[in-house]
Amino acid sequence: MNKQPFVLLTDAIAPSATALMAARAHVEIAKDKSEQGLIDAARLADVIVVRSPLPPALFEQATRLRGVVRHGAGIDMIPVDAASRHGVAVANVPGGNAGSVAEYAIGQMLNLSHKFTHIDKTLRQEGWSAARALSDNKVEIEGQTLGIVGIGQIGQNLARKAHHGFNMNVIAYRPSGAPSDSFVEMVDLPALFERSDFIVLACPLNEKTKGLVDASLLARMKPTACLINVSRGGVIDEPALIDVLSKGHIRGAALDVFTTSPLPASSPLLQLGNVLVTSHIAGITKQSMQCMGEGAAKQVLQILDGQLPEHLWNSECRDEIVARFERLS
């Protein structure tokens, strides 16, 4: 009898997704997510489902590895160059959490404009009258301008919710300038930062977007504007953002991602009253976890069957990947 394939999970995923893979393979969650712990756990793995960063050295040691599947869309947890050098397939699950992230962005726009968090805290600490006084400067988001940086599946989902649900004017930027929905006006970055009442960063982190939002762009924002980051922390020059927030040059920010994660307890962001912070949870809901998990499991089974995964990321290495599949089959 052939030995059962081994699927390594860096972290737990939806039980339904685990069950799909367990019908065909031995599935195990990594007990130690340190670099060496993951390297050791992956030595006999056929496929890895990724929710924590993989060290590049893992691909040298994991001689049975055929593919790694990102549990989600962002590929920055996988050292793609290292995987490609060894002919290991890299795949992701695009759009699996687009609805969740879009809802988070809408929720934080409402939170920042209606001061829900601030009012709740004030009511608990200072009483009814102090909390009601904060309502004088609340604003509505209906009819305001939303600027989206990165109009992929998350950005498009957000644009539709904002336009159809709140009658917002939507402008967007992506490097290609390719059009999106008919109601979305494509603009350049300086114009987006100058015109927007709310700016949502929803672009991937790569060499072109690292530090994209710098001091010069932040200086273009309206003093009444808010910034929401559901992308990656590295997209923003964090010290520059802290500077404009601490000086009150913009209304506020809602941040789900940071330059350093977990966010250090010493971060100045935690001391600013015009900042809402969350622990990289914008894309995590019961529904999105099931969707991403089952999307990842489907591609794991494709790899175990000797097929290229549906959402192959490093397709330029197709020949090397197929050759590795054949050698390991």
The whole-number average pLDDT for the span 257-273 is 97
Spatial separation of the C-alpha atoms in residues 5 and 300, rounded to whole Å: 11
Name the domain boundary from 277, 295, 312: 277
Residue 203 lies in a domain: yes
Indicate if 193 and 181 belong to the same structural domain.
yes
Q: Chain-centre distance of CA 160, in angstroms?
A: 19
Name the domain boundary from 257, 277, 297: 277
Task: Look at 329 and 128; give whichever has higher pLDDT.
Answer: 128
Indicate if 231 and 125 belong to the same structural domain.
yes
Tens-place pLDDT, residues 234-256? 999 999 999 999 999 999 999 99
In the predicted model, is pLDDT for residue 187 greater than 80?
yes
Give me the phi and psi of 25, to 5 degrees please. Answer: -150, 165
Indicate if 53 and 85 belong to the same structural domain.
yes
Indicate if 73 and 222 belong to the same structural domain.
no
Residue 259 lies in a domain: yes
78: domain CATH number? 3.40.50.720
Residue 211 lies in a domain: yes
Domain that holds residue 89: 6-96+286-328
Indicate if 248 and 147 belong to the same structural domain.
yes
The whole-number average pLDDT for the span 202-209 is 94
Indicate if 66 and 169 belong to the same structural domain.
no
What is the domain count for the chain?
2
Residue 329, pLDDT score = 87
Looking at every residue in the chain, the average pLDDT score rounds to: 97
CA dihedral 105, 109, 112, 118 (to 10 degrees): -60
Indicate if 155 and 135 belong to the same structural domain.
yes
Spatial separation of the C-alpha atoms in residues 60 and 171, rounded to whole Å: 45
Indicate if 297 and 270 belong to the same structural domain.
no
Residue 1 lies in a domain: no
Indicate if 184 and 37 belong to the same structural domain.
no
Indicate if 293 and 271 belong to the same structural domain.
no
Residue 127 lies in a domain: yes
Spatial separation of the C-alpha atoms in residues 195 and 198, rounded to whole Å: 9
Write the CB contacts of 115 (distance below 8 Å, at least 6 apart in sequence).
134, 135, 137, 138
Indicate if 90 and 114 belong to the same structural domain.
no
Is the distance from CB of 80 to CB of 314 less than 8 angstroms?
yes
Residue 105, pLDDT score = 98
Indicate if 167 and 263 belong to the same structural domain.
yes
Sequence-distant contacts of 108-112: CB under 8 A, at least 24 apart:
108/228, 108/254, 108/276, 109/141, 109/146, 109/198, 109/226, 109/228, 109/254, 110/141, 111/254, 111/276, 112/198, 112/226, 112/228, 112/251, 112/252, 112/253, 112/254, 112/276
Residue 1, pLDDT score = 35
The answer, as to whether pTM is greater than 0.85, is: yes
Name the domain boundary from 258, 277, 296: 277
Tokens encoding 214 = 């710098």
Spatial separation of the C-alpha atoms in residues 199 and 145, rounded to whole Å: 9
Cα→Cα distances 173→177, 202, 216, 267, 328, Å: 7, 10, 17, 30, 43
